Amino acid sequence: MTTKTYQGSCHCKRVRYQVDLDLAKGTGRCNCTLCTKLRAWSANVKPDAFKLLSGEDALSTYSKSEYMQYRFCRHCGVQAFGTGNIPELGGAFVSVKLGGLDDVEPAELIAAPIRFFNGRNNRWMETPAETRHL
């Protein structure tokens, strides 16, 4: 396992961040209604592995549940990351959207294991019956 520091941003680059991430530990796709609509692919890190470099004033927050707060750029609309606290997933975390990583190589993403989460039914540790669309 190798942790690497990645740079990430929203589309207009107003929001920029840095994250220490080991893609070999796995990535995730969830079937909750928001992740399904966004076709979100993410990796979770502990809060101390994430640093917002710029754009706090450009961020807006959307939340439908007590589990997650989705942070997106109010200028370009891109969801840069989210924060949450789900005990079944280890407590507090930052969910980094892999599409927002500026310096990740396609080979790194191809090699990254994917785990599927049943957020739609709040059964986070259960793989949904169907995942091909996620």
Is residue 46 situated within a structural domain?
A: yes
Is residue 75 situated within a structural domain?
A: yes
Q: How high is the pLDDT of residue 1?
A: 64
Q: How high is the pLDDT of residue 47?
A: 98
Give 67-90 pLDDT, tens digit per residue.
889 999 999 999 989 999 988 778
Domain count along the chain: 1
Is residue 131 situated within a structural domain?
A: no
Q: How high is the pLDDT of residue 104?
A: 97
Q: What is the CATH number of the domain that holds 60?
A: 2.170.150.70
| Mean pLDDT (the chain, rounded) | 93
Taking the CA atoms of 44, 124, 40 and 92 in sequence, report the sign of the dihedral they define. Answer: negative
Give 57-69 pLDDT, tens digit per residue.
999 999 987 888 9
**Range of the structural domain that residue 26 is part of:** 4-118
Is residue 70 situated within a structural domain?
A: yes
Is residue 129 situated within a structural domain?
A: no
Is residue 8 over pLDDT 90?
A: yes
